[in-house]
Amino acid sequence: MWEANAQVNADRAQGLAMLPAGAVERLQDCYDAILTAAEATNPRRPRRPSTRRARQAIPRLQPHRPLAGTPR
């Protein structure tokens, strides 16, 4: 997500108050891909499902998806 921070800083430097719609959608797609890869890499274990910290973090991160309430 460093890319998102760099994008915001660059747009602010240009005097923009908001990211262009295409940039927002691209960053949301990147965030979705990160979460999908995290789920694939850290699948639920059939026994003791609460032992993997990375797996436990995924549901907590999903509500914080950048601009989650913004329609696509």
Q: What is the pLDDT of residues 29-55, one digit of tens each?
A: 988 999 999 989 988 777 665 556 677
Average pLDDT over residues 17-23: 85
In a domain, residue 18? The reply is yes
Rounded CA separation 48/16 (Å): 48
Question: How many other CB atoms sit within 10 Å of the CB of residue 72?
Answer: 8
pTM of the model: 0.52
Query: Do residues 37 and 44 make contact, with C-beta atoms less than 8 angstroms apart?
Result: no
Q: Looking at residue 14, what DSSP letter applies?
A: T
Task: State which residues form the domain around 49.
Answer: 2-64
pLDDT at 52: 63
Helix or strand or coil: residue 12? Answer: helix
In a domain, residue 69? The reply is no
Count structural domains, the chain: 1
In a domain, residue 36? The reply is yes
Of 47 and 61, more confident? 61
Structure tokens at 56: 């436990």
In a domain, residue 10? The reply is yes
In a domain, residue 13? The reply is yes
In a domain, residue 70? The reply is no
In a domain, residue 38? The reply is yes
Of 33 and 2, more confident? 33
Comparing CA positions, the residue from 21, 23, 3, 19 lying closest to residue 11 is 19
